[in-house]
Amino acid sequence: MKSIVKSFIILTMAVFLLSSCNKTEKIIAIINLMQHPVLDSVEAQTKTYLLEHGYDKKNGYVIIEKNLNGQKDLLPTVVNEINNQKPVLIIAITTPVAQAFVKKATCPVVFSLVTDPIEAGILDSLTQTKPTITGTSDVFPYEEQIKLIREIHPKAKTIGLVYDSGEAPARFAFDQLSRICPKYGFELISKPATSSSEVPLAAKSLIGKAEIFFVSSDNTAIESVPALVSICVKNKIPLYVGETGSVEKGGIATCSVSYGSFGIATGKLADRLLKGEMNIPIYIPSEFEIAVNTKAAELMNVKLPESVIKKAKTVFNQVK
């Protein structure tokens, strides 16, 4: 009798363990290229939105996060690592990450902060939809940015641009700036840099040639903003940037898309895909905002016009 009871207990435990193993968690993977105020904010907002809408452990979901710390060469390894975990959704933040995952993903993908999905090879047009791929585009308002620089520097003639020709958003920016700068009386002087370690040397080679430095939608250059700020402060060269996070780090000013909406927009798109919706149009913001850093302007010997400060939605008084 005892042996029968013992066998029954063992069998019951085995059934319980087997049923527990079958209850696998559904993985949502968020992959970010590097640490940056804007990217970190979008990642945090996206995760919060998903958790608030039921994508938590209680409902069988687990959200994993991966930051490459700017090491784009690790992308092939990370793609394989994430795919091997069989996620139900991938959220890829920035163009390089999105390109890598869209090519090899085995599940739906939401891309976020992709400047030009067409140049990146993700979409054929901004109105195209794909069954299980959607996302957000943060194309910079380059004409508004150059107009802002002209307002602050009415007599300047040259703008220096360090850019990574291997990056789709950097190539897009170069093409746009090459077209727009002459309209406002600027000559664009560029210097290539294919890694963050090359950016300071490229920037230094522009000293004496360019009166103003500009950082575009180029992840390699954005990662190097602290180094560029140091060079510009030392040489009293005004540095302008493309988004608010880099103004906080020491860029003098920008006219930027409103990044406060991107995390929620990314989360909403993820929610819709997870619920089985397909062919979802991408999100492109239509509102822009000015941000200035008065301390950076002081350190680079630039007097910001009151008209610009009054228009600014965000004013930083220190370099982070």
Pick the CATH number of 23-138+259-274 from 3.40.50.2300, 3.40.50.1370, 3.40.50.1240, 3.30.300.20: 3.40.50.2300
Q: For Cα atoms 141, 33, 245, give the angle at the middle one, nearest 5 degrees.
A: 45
Q: Which of helix, strand or coil describes residue 66? A: strand
Question: How much is the average pLDDT of 139-149?
Answer: 95
Predicted local confidence at residue 189, as pLDDT: 98
pLDDT band at 160 (very low <50, low <70, confident <90, very high): very high
Predicted local confidence at residue 6, as pLDDT: 46
Predicted local confidence at residue 320, as pLDDT: 87
pLDDT by residue (tens digit) across 94-118?
Answer: 999 999 999 998 899 999 999 889 9
Residue type present at position 20: S
pLDDT band at 260 (very low <50, low <70, confident <90, very high): confident
Predicted local confidence at residue 5, as pLDDT: 42
pLDDT by residue (tens digit) across 277-305?
Answer: 999 999 998 889 999 999 999 999 999 99
More confident residue, 125 or 32: 32
Strands 253-257 and 288-293: antiparallel
Predicted local confidence at residue 119, as pLDDT: 87
pTM above 0.85, yes or no: no
Indicate the burial class of 105 (C-beta count within 10 angstroms; 0-12, 13-18, 19 or more): buried
Question: How much is the average pLDDT of 21-37?
Answer: 85
**CATH 3.40.50.2300 domain span(s) along the chain:** 23-138+259-274, 142-258+288-316
Strands 109-112 and 158-163: unpaired
Q: Is residue 47 scored above 80 in pLDDT?
A: yes
Question: How much is the average pLDDT of 45-69?
Answer: 97
| Distance set, CA 190 to CA 154, 169, 203, 217, 302 (Å) | 21, 15, 9, 14, 22
Predicted local confidence at residue 127, as pLDDT: 87
> In this predicted structure, which of 164-173, 194-203, 245-254 has the lowest mean pLDDT?
164-173
Predicted local confidence at residue 81, as pLDDT: 96
Name the H helices within the chain.
2-22, 37-52, 75-84, 95-104, 142-152, 168-180, 199-205, 219-223, 225-235, 244-248, 262-274, 294-299, 306-311
Q: What is the dihedral of CA 179, 181, 187, 193, to 10 degrees?
A: -80
Pick the CATH number of 142-258+288-316 from 3.30.70.260, 3.40.50.2300, 3.20.20.210, 2.60.120.330: 3.40.50.2300
Q: What is the dihedral of CA 283, 284, 289, 294, to 10 degrees?
A: 90
Q: How far apart are alpha carbons 202 and 41 in whole angstroms?
A: 29
Predicted local confidence at residue 258, as pLDDT: 84
- 232 within 8 A of 300, measured Cβ to Cβ: yes
Predicted local confidence at residue 16, as pLDDT: 40
What does the mean pLDDT of the chain come to?
91
